[in-house]
Structure 1
Amino acid sequence: MPILPLNNENLPYPDPMHPIVVHFVIAMVFFSFFCDVVGYFSRNVRLFEVSFWNMFVASVSIFVAVIFGQFEAGLAQPYSSVQPILNSHAITGWSLAAILVAITAWRFFIRTRDPLNIPVAYLGVATFLICLVSLQVYLGTQLVWVYGLHVEPVVEAAKKGVLR
């Protein structure tokens, strides 16, 4: 028996928190990349500072997003056809957290050595990060819009045993 009562979406609070927090992280990573690319080509070094702080806050926030994601995944009662996507999403989420922190640490060292320049290699790794984040967005989108996790009719069907 759950300690907190669950609503019709099988959550102890009104709406899923994971999408709220994770969209914040996604926006910060994409904006950071945008600032680095524009700063690199325009030589506007102030954008490098904006980029760094966006990556720094995203590196902290991604752990909040992953923890809420794990908690909400545990409450979702996933059925068999959704389980592979959910597992891939969880593994990619934890991997992204580690990768984002590593890239942010690298960005910190770049910033301390030469705050007026970004190496092309960093932009390449940041491009890889954007691709990985895009894959994660795709997987998360499938969980909600294809498989209906934490969507009331799907929750009801799972409770009635229609989905296995």
Structure 2
Amino acid sequence: MFENLLPPLNDHNLPYADTIHPIVVHFVIAMVLFAFLCDVLGYFTRNEKLYEVSWWNMFFATISIFIAIIFGQIEAGLALAYDAVEPVLNLHTLIGWSLSGILAAITGWRYVIRLRDRKTIPVAYLGTGFFLTCLVLFQVYLGDELVWVYGLHTVPVVEAVKEGIL
């Protein structure tokens, strides 16, 4: 009934040229990692300008992660997920949604720190930034695994699933 309203899927099993999720999510990854680096450098050099750079990176990363999740959910829904890939895809999805809440909470905390004193940052916040960095890097690992090991949205895998080989 609604099939006529949807655009046709291409050889990547997508209604648009290629995956968008990785493009958007790379901005989130870069901003979170760069924010943590700026906080650490700012802490040891006592350069408060680096804290400002960190704040804005966290702010825009928090907005961007929700855009990345929207495209991630669309593309995960369109992925021809065969049995072997499902546990990794489910874990990647769970951590992605969790990261959105964690990142929003940490950014909120960072905003309060910024309002109170722009010249210092607590060591506890740096520890939380380290935890966030580790979580982001694990999520990157899972995303890489989905593409480079399981081949989601790659033409050969899409064809293999459609032909019943996988």
TM, length-normalised to structure 1: 0.98
TM-superposed CA distance for 1:110, in Å, is 0.2
1:17 & 1:108 partners in 2: Cα distance? 29
| Residue 123 of structure 2 is aligned to residue 120 of structure 1 | yes
Provide the alpha-carbon RMSD of the alignment.
Answer: 0.7
Decide which of 104, 109, 116 is 1:106's aligned counterpart: 109
| Aligned residue number for residue 34 of structure 1 | 37
Give CA deviations for 1:73-128 in whole Å, capped at 9, x if unaligned. Answer: 00012000000000000000000000000000000000000110000000000000
Decide which of 1, 5, 21 is 2:8's aligned counterpart: 5
Give CA deviations for 1:4-60 in whole Å, capped at 9, x if unaligned. Answer: 111110111111000000001000000000100001000110000000000000000
- Letter paired with 1:147: Y
| Residue 85 of structure 2 is aligned to residue 77 of structure 1 | no
TM-superposed CA distance for 1:161, in Å, is 1.1
TM-superposed CA distance for 1:130, in Å, is 0.2
**Structure 1 gap segments, 5+ residues each:** none
**Structure 2 gap segments, 5+ residues each:** none
Give CA deviations for 1:108-164 in whole Å, capped at 9, x if unaligned. Answer: 00000011000000000000000000110000000000000000000000111111x
Question: Would you identify which runs of 4 or more consecutive aligned residues in structure 1 move more than 2 Å?
Answer: none
- Letter paired with 2:30: A
| Aligned residue number for residue 57 of structure 1 | 60
| Aligned residue number for residue 24 of structure 1 | 27
TM, length-normalised to structure 2: 0.97
2:127 & 2:115 partners in 1: Cα distance? 20
| Residue 159 of structure 2 is aligned to residue 156 of structure 1 | yes
TM-superposed CA distance for 1:70, in Å, is 0.6
| Aligned residue number for residue 95 of structure 1 | 98
1:60 & 1:73 partners in 2: Cα distance? 20
The percent identity for this pair of structures is 65
